[in-house]
């Protein structure tokens, strides 16, 4: 009798311990998540805090200067706009074309599997390696020098896997019945692809393109590796001009010996993050708004 009671009490205590352990584990995991979010918030707020005083139209309009109070990001901003404009121009047709080939044209074959594996691998290649490629091929072999064109071509290679993978995903989501219906009406493969499949996949592709643009906008390593210049005194006017970009300005200002420049870098970071977050919001909007329009 006492044995059974003792055993029951033991089991009760065991269960209680188990339940406590389970709760504790949940709490630990919750703490992990909260600390992730909290650290993210802390970092963003500390940048906002430091850069706040420098925000204003002067920051956007002014040319680089030796004094932090007078320096602005105009030439860097224009350089970045040139870069992402050209990069989009190169990367979107190439990336969407490659995705169309892989999803709509290529037959299941070893060649297709190799291309696919290759793209997945390129997505994981460190961006600085692309910078070395840009340095070796575009700057020296094609002799483009440290021009915007060379920079944009390098960035194109960096973001190409992103565009391809996102477009493939979007194309795969278009149901086969759409294609069959189009073929049944006598359309050719390209007519089907161009008039039916591509418009249906557009929201997904746009999301991928915006992701790629934001990556290109924030990327500094490949530009440094291909030798983008640190100091330019005027905004570029053609694709052959030397250039600098917003992330490069942040890089050099963060290393500056005068602490005022650190605050200036923080202000430039705020501008960059505002642009990036707006781009992400546009992507979310496109996904939401146009994703709903097409129903199968």
Partner 1 sequence: MSTTNIASDNPRRSLVVDAARLRRYRIEGMVRYVLMVCAGVSVLTTVGIVVLLLFESLQFFGTVSIVEFVTGTQWAPQNQQYGILPLLCGTLLVTAGAALVAIPLGLGTAIYLSEYATPWIRETVKPALEILAGVPSVVFGYLALIVISPIIRDWVPNADPANAACAAIVVGFMILPTVISLSEDVLRSVPRSLREAGYALGATKFDVTVKVIVPAAMSGIVASFLLAISRAIGETMAVTLAAGGTPRITANPFESIQTMTAYIVEKTGGENAHGTPEYRTIFAVGLTLFVSTMLLNLAAQAILSRVREKYE
Chain residues 44-63 in contact with partner 1, contact rule CB under 8 A: 46-47, 50
Through-space distance between the first and last CA atoms of the chain, rounded to whole angstroms:
68
Residue 1 beta carbon to partner 1: minimum distance, rounded to whole angstroms: 26
Q: Is 12 one of the binding residues for partner 1 (CB under 8 A)?
A: no
- Out of 14, 52, 190, 231, the residue judged to bind partner 1 by CB under 8 A: 190
**In a 10 Å sphere around its CB, with 0-12 CB exposed, 13-18 middle and 19+ buried, how is residue 214 labelled?**
buried
Q: Which of 55, 81, 122, 173 binds partner 1 (CB under 8 A)?
A: 122
Shortest reach from residue 106's CB to partner 1, in Å: 7
C-alpha radius of gyration, the chain, whole number? 26
Q: Which of 11, 12, 29, 181 binds partner 1 (CB under 8 A)?
A: 29
Q: Choose one: 4-12, 55-63, 116-124, 288-296; the region binding partner 1 (CB under 8 A).
A: 116-124
Residues 196-255 that bind partner 1 (CB under 8 A): 214, 217-221, 224-227, 230, 247, 250-251, 254-255
Rounded to an integer, what distance in angstroms lies between the CA atom of residue 166 and that of residue 208? 5
List the interface residues with partner 1, window 268-287 (CB under 8 A): 269, 272-273, 276-277, 280, 284
For 124, which DSSP code? H
Which residue, 170, 154, 176, 226, is CA-closest to 202? 170
Distance CA 286, CA 282 (A): 6
What CA–CA distances, in Å, run from 104 to 85, 152, 174, 196, 198?
A: 28, 28, 11, 12, 10
Separation between Cα atoms, residue 214 and residue 204, nearest integer Å: 16
Q: How is residue 112 written in tokens? A: 């297709």
Bridge partners (DSSP) of residue 147 are: 242
Q: Does 175 bind partner 1 (CB under 8 A)?
A: no
C-alpha–C-alpha distance, residues 28 and 85, integer Å: 45
Q: CB of residue 160 vs partner 1: minimum separation in angstroms?
A: 6
Q: Which is nearer to partner 1, 65 or 188 (CB)?
A: 188
Judged by CB under 8 A, which of 28, 57, 177, 292 binds partner 1? Answer: 28
- What is the closest distance, in whole angstroms, from the C-beta atom of residue 264 to partner 1 in the complex? 11
Q: Which stretch binds partner 1 (CB under 8 A): 56-64, 76-84, 232-240, 258-266?
A: 258-266
Site string for partner 1, 129-158 (x = CB under 8 A): xxxxx-xxx--x----------------x-
């Amino acid at each position: 009798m006492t044995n059974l009671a003792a055993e029951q009490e033991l089991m009760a205590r065991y269960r209680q311990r188990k339940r406590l352990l389970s709760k504790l584990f949940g709490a630990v995991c919750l703490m992990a998540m909260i600390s992730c979010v909290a650290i993210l918030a802390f970092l963003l707020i500390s940048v906002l805090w430091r850069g706040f005083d420098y925000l204003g139209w002067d920051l956007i309009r002014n040319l680089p200067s030796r004094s932090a109070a007078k320096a602005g990001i105009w030439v860097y901003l224009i350089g970045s706009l040139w870069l992402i404009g050209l990069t989009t121009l190169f990367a979107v047709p190439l990336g969407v074309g490659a995705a169309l080939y892989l999803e709509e044209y290529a037959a299941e074959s070893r060649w297709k599997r190799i291309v696919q594996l290759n793209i997945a691998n390129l997505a994981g290649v460190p961006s600085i390696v692309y910078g070395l490629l840009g340095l070796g091929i575009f700057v020296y072999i094609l002799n483009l020098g440290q021009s915007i064109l060379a920079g944009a071509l390098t960035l194109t290679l960096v973001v190409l896997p992103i565009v391809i993978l996102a477009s493939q995903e979007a194309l795969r989501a278009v149901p086969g019945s759409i294609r069959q219906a189009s073929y049944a009406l006598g359309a050719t493969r390209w007519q089907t692809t161009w008039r039916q499949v591509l418009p249906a996949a557009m929201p997904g592709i746009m999301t991928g393109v915006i992701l790629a643009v934001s990556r290109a906008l924030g990327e500094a390593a490949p530009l440094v590796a291909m030798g983008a210049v640190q100091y330019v005194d005027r905004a570029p006017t053609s694709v052959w001009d030397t250039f600098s970009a917003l992330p490069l300005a942040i890089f050099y200002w963060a290393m500056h010996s005068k602490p005022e420049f650190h605050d200036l870098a923080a202000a430039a970071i705020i501008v960059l993050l505002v642009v990036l977050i707006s781009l992400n919001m546009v992507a979310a909007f496109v996904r939401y708004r146009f994703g709903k329009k097409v129903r199968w």
